[in-house]
C-alpha cells in the first residue's frame, strides 16, 4: 500500500508520535526549537511521511519566525494549499500533495526580491536529504 492510501491506524504505526501529531493531526513545532530552523546544510527537504521532495535548500531563508522558511516549493505539483480556519484565523495551509500530510502555512511576507512568499514549515514534517559539496 502506498503512503497516499494509508489508513490513520497505519500512519500511527509508521510515524513517531511527534510526527503523527504534526503531520496527521495538524500540530505545530515549538518555535525556534525545530531541527531545521537554523540549518544551512545543502540538499532537498522531503516529506517525513512519504519522502516526496518539497523544498530545496536554495530556497530556504532566515525569516526569524521560529520555523524553517522557504520562498518557493521545488515543484508546485508536490504541495497543495488549502484554506485553514482553525484557531479563529484564516490562513493558507501547506500540505504534501502525495500523502495529504500537514506541513505548515504560507504567508505573503517573504523576500520581495524573489516570490514574496514565506512557506513556514514544521521541521518535524521534513527530512533533509543532504547533497555533498
User: Catalytic site residues?
Assistant: 120
> Strand pairing partners for 103?
none
Using the structure block, give the residue that is written with the C-alpha cell 493558507.
Answer: 92
Using the structure block, give the residue that is written with the C-alpha cell 515543484.
Answer: 75
Chain centre to alpha carbon of residue 12: 19
Contact 60, 48 (CB under 8 A): no
Contact 19, 48 (CB under 8 A): yes
Phi and psi at residue 63, to the nearest 5°: -100, -10
Q: What are the grid coordinates assigned to 59, written together?
A: 530556497
Amino acid at each position: 500500500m502506498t503512503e497516499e492510501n494509508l489508513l490513520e491506524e497505519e500512519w500511527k504505526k509508521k510515524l513517531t508520535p511527534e510526527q503523527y501529531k504534526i503531520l496527521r493531526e495538524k500540530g505545530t513545532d515549538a518555535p525556534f526549537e525545530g531541527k531545521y530552523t537554523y540549518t544551512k546544510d545543502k540538499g532537498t527537504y522531503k516529506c517525513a511521511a512519504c519522502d516526496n521532495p518539497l523544498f530545496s535548500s536554495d530556497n530556504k531563508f532566515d525569516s526569524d519566525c521560529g520555523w524553517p522558511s522557504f520562498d518557493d516549493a521545488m515543484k508546485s505539483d508536490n504541495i497543495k494549499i488549502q484554506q485553514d480556519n482553525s484557531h479563529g484565523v484564516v490562513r493558507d495551509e501547506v500540505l504534501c500533495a502525495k500523502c495529504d500530510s500537514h506541513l505548515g502555512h504560507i504567508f505573503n511576507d517573504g523576500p520581495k526580491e524573489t516570490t514574496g512568499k514565506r512557506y513556514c514549515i514544521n521541521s518535524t514534517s521534513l527530512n533533509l536529504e543532504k547533497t555533498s559539496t
